[in-house]
Amino acid sequence: MANNDNLIKTSDLTPSERREIARKAGIASGKARREKRDMKKSLEILLNLSIKKGAVIDPNDAETLTDIKSKNLTVQEAILVAQIQKALKGDLKSAEFLRDTAGQKPVDKKDIKQEIINPFEGLSTDELRKLASDDEED
């Protein structure tokens, strides 16, 4: 828990102190980005490894899910097959994962920000009356 008495506002620091803190933050940020990038690359490599020795089958060549199950797949394909099997058994989380991964996630209406533009916003009552009387004359 932070002790507010020990905190120093950046406005109380000298420009050189602020620069030094910003430099250290930039170095730490770059290190974190490199670590995330390397982890992502490692995961991509691991996901593309085959489960068994030998040639990996092309999932497009299979006619049914059972054709794929016993064949040599990549780790990524095996995970997807396992998720499909779980979804078929009624696992809702697996079904949602597959739907979302396939790019079919529904858009939540709460996430859509609807802005209503009011052309009369900011006008005074007198200005609104004048506009209304102008419309009646036409």
pLDDT higher than 70, residue 72: yes
CA 80 to CA 86: how far, in whole Å? 10
By the 10 Å C-beta count (0-12 exposed, 13-18 middle, 19+ buried), 73 is classed as buried
Percent of the chain residues past pLDDT 90, beyond the cut: 25
pLDDT tens digit sequence for 96-111 = 999 988 888 877 666 5
Q: Determine the pLDDT at residue 112.
A: 59
Question: Does residue 20 have a pLDDT over 90?
Answer: yes
- Domain ranges within the chain, ordered by starting residue: 12-47, 50-106
Q: pTM value?
A: 0.50
